[in-house]
């Protein structure tokens, strides 16, 4: 691997949802470069295969699994596959997400609201639910939820996205309480504006506009904390208060 990160994740199995492009893809590559075996999940097979091929090309270990996180059967199959293929799961990054334009609550499309909640919140709940037994078998682990400042502050004409991410932040804290005694920590990572397919990047005075790779150091930090390290916390890469 060209960019070994001290093998800090050597021997670890990591599942990253939404690893076909954007932030999830960068985290999958970053974890593999740090020595983890990674399972890349998303709906578009060609994109997750591309991520896997890039990791293997660098000498890393990766597998792909096509799954829609809003479908419980897909999620169950994903975690069964990942546990078998990786030999165990230590880290789960709940990154898959959509930001479908909804508009004003008064006039927005209810279907867009449903789709957003189904992927960003229900999908994260399904993944956590399916992952927990595997993490417990390892005696501990990390769940990292990819949140948003919009889930803390609210933003007009983005009710679906804001509410999905607010729910995800609450899920993070509830899971942290439920899993603390099992040495499983659950923390939120807020990337702030990142140039990806999802984000046209709003130009906000003084904000840091990132590439997906800029999110990787924080994702590595959260994956490598002590087993009685931080949990129920939110870590933001933004320059404004979230
Ligand atoms: N970009 C930003 O500025 C920003 C800021 C704050 C938070 N975030 C959060 O960061 C995460 C990643 O966003 P991104 O900017 O990297 O977006 P992106 O480039 O659009 O990537 C999203 C990934 O999620 C996958 N995905 C979407 N719906 C899915 C589903 N139902 N099942 C499985 N996979 C699904 C996509 O693959 P398929 O479509 O092939 O399934 C893709 O791999 C999201 O949770 C987002 O809310 C992004």
Q: Which numbered atom of ligand 1 lies nearest the CA of 21?
A: 43
pLDDT digits (tens, 9 = 90+) for 101-113: 779 999 999 999 9
Range of the domain at 80: 13-236
What mean pLDDT, rounded, does the chain reach? Answer: 94
pLDDT digits (tens, 9 = 90+) for 171-228: 999 999 999 999 999 999 999 999 998 876 566 778 899 999 999 999 999 999 999 9
Say if 218 falls within a structural domain: yes
Is 161 annotated as catalytic? yes
What is the number of structural domains in the chain?
Answer: 1
CATH code, domain with 150: 3.40.50.720
pTM of the model: 0.97
Say if 194 falls within a structural domain: yes
For position 2, what pLDDT does the model report?
Answer: 44
For position 7, what pLDDT does the model report?
Answer: 85
For position 1, what pLDDT does the model report?
Answer: 44
Q: Is the dihedral of CA 171, 176, 178, 184 positive or negative?
A: positive
Distances in Å between the Cα of 12 and the Cα atoms of 32, 36, 61, 174, 184 are: 10, 5, 11, 25, 14
Q: Is the dihedral of CA 166, 130, 40, 220 positive or negative?
A: positive
Say if 2 falls within a structural domain: no
| Distance (Å, whole) CA 95 – CA 156 | 23
pLDDT digits (tens, 9 = 90+) for 124-160: 999 999 999 999 999 999 999 999 999 999 999 999 9
Quick one: what percent of the chain has pLDDT higher than 70? Answer: 95
Which of 31, 126, 161, 235 is an active site residue?
161
Q: Is the dihedral of CA 117, 118, 121, 122 positive or negative?
A: positive
CA of residue 181 to ligand 1 center, whole Å: 31
Say if 6 falls within a structural domain: no
Say if 132 falls within a structural domain: yes
| DSSP bridge partners of 146 | 189
pLDDT digits (tens, 9 = 90+) for 161-174: 999 999 999 999 99
Say if 189 falls within a structural domain: yes
Say if 119 falls within a structural domain: yes
- Supply the residue whose CA is at minimum distance from atom 17 of ligand 1: 198
Say if 81 falls within a structural domain: yes
- Tokens for 137? 């078998």
CB 92 within 8 A of CB 127: yes
- Tokens for 221? 């930090």
């Amino acid at each position: 691997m060209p960019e070994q990160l001290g093998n800090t994740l050597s021997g670890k199995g990591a599942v990253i949802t939404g690893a076909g492009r954007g932030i999830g893809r960068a985290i999958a590559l970053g974890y593999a470069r740090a020595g983890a075996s990674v399972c890349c999940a998303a709906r578009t097979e060609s994109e997750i295969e591309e991520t896997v091929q890039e990791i293997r090309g660098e000498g890393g270990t990766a597998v792909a699994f096509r799954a829609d996180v809003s479908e419980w059967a897909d999620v169950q199959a994903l975690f069964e596959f990942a546990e078998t293929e990786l030999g165990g799961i230590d880290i789960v990054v709940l990154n898959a997400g959509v930001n479908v334009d909804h508009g004003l609550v008064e006039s927005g499309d209810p279907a867009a609201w449903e789709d957003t909640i189904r992927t960003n919140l229900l999908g994260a709940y399904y993944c956590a639910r399916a992952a927990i037994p595997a993490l417990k078998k390892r005696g501990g682990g990390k769940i990292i939820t990819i949140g948003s400042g919009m889930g803390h502050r609210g933003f007009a004409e983005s009710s679906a996205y804001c509410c999905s991410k607010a729910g995800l932040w609450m899920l993070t804290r509830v899971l942290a309480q439920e899993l603390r005694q099992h040495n499983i920590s659950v923390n939120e990572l807020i990337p702030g504006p990142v140039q990806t397919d999802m984000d046209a990047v709003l130009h906000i005075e003084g904000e840091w506009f990132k590439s997906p790779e800029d999110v990787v150091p924080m994702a590595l930090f959260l994956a490598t904390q002590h087993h009685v390290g931080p949990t129920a916390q939110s870590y933001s890469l933004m320059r404004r208060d979230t």
